[in-house]
Each structure stands twice: as structure tokens, then as C-alpha cells.
Amino acid sequence: MALVTLNLPNPFAEGNNFPGAMLGISVNGTVSPVRASFTYGVPQSQGANRMPTTLIIGVPLTLNPLEVVALWQGVRGSTVIIDSPATFSAII
């Protein structure tokens, strides 16, 4: 089993309908049902309010190579901003 971590220490979202983001990890094109997310509790965020978010999943190892991809999308039409270093790592 590999422990896969997606860490976004300083993301934020912009929009006018309770902006936020959904984060995920796919393995060989299949998106894990385990997700991480953040949203603001106000219709429109005031400035760049940072929302640190981390997602960790276990990925079963196989004898064949695996394609592991980090995914994110805005919720309710918002734009997600990642303007600082983020990490995507695996520990076996």
C-alpha cells in the first residue's frame, strides 16, 4: 500500500456563490471516492482568504506501473487559485 498525500497549504477560491474547491486523486483514470473540499461560509469571499487543505489516501500497489494524478475543481462556478507551492507525494 502506498500512502498518497495531496497538500495545498494556501489555496483560495473566488466567486459569488459560496466559492470553494473539491480536491481528488485518480489512480489509472479512476477517481477515488475519498475527496477533500473547502467552501466559504459567505456568498462572496472578502479578499484572498486562505483555506489549507490536505487529502491522504491509501493506494494498493500492483506489479504494473500506476498513474496517480492530483485533481481539483471549483464548486458552484468558482475559480480556485493555487499561487504557492503545493506537494503531491507517495510513501511506500
Q: 28-80, pLDDT tens digit by residue?
A: 999 999 999 999 989 887 767 899 999 999 999 999 999 999 999 999 999 99
Question: What is the pLDDT, as a whole number, of residue 46?
Answer: 75
Q: Are 36 and 23 in contact (CB under 8 A)?
A: yes
Exposed/middle/buried for residue 18 (C-beta within 10 Å: 0-12, 13-18, 19+): middle
Question: What is the pLDDT, as a whole number, of residue 88?
Answer: 97
Q: Across residues 12-31, what is the average pLDDT?
A: 96
Question: What is the pLDDT, as a whole number, of residue 77?
Answer: 95
Domains and their CATH numbers in the chain = 2-91 (2.60.120.760)
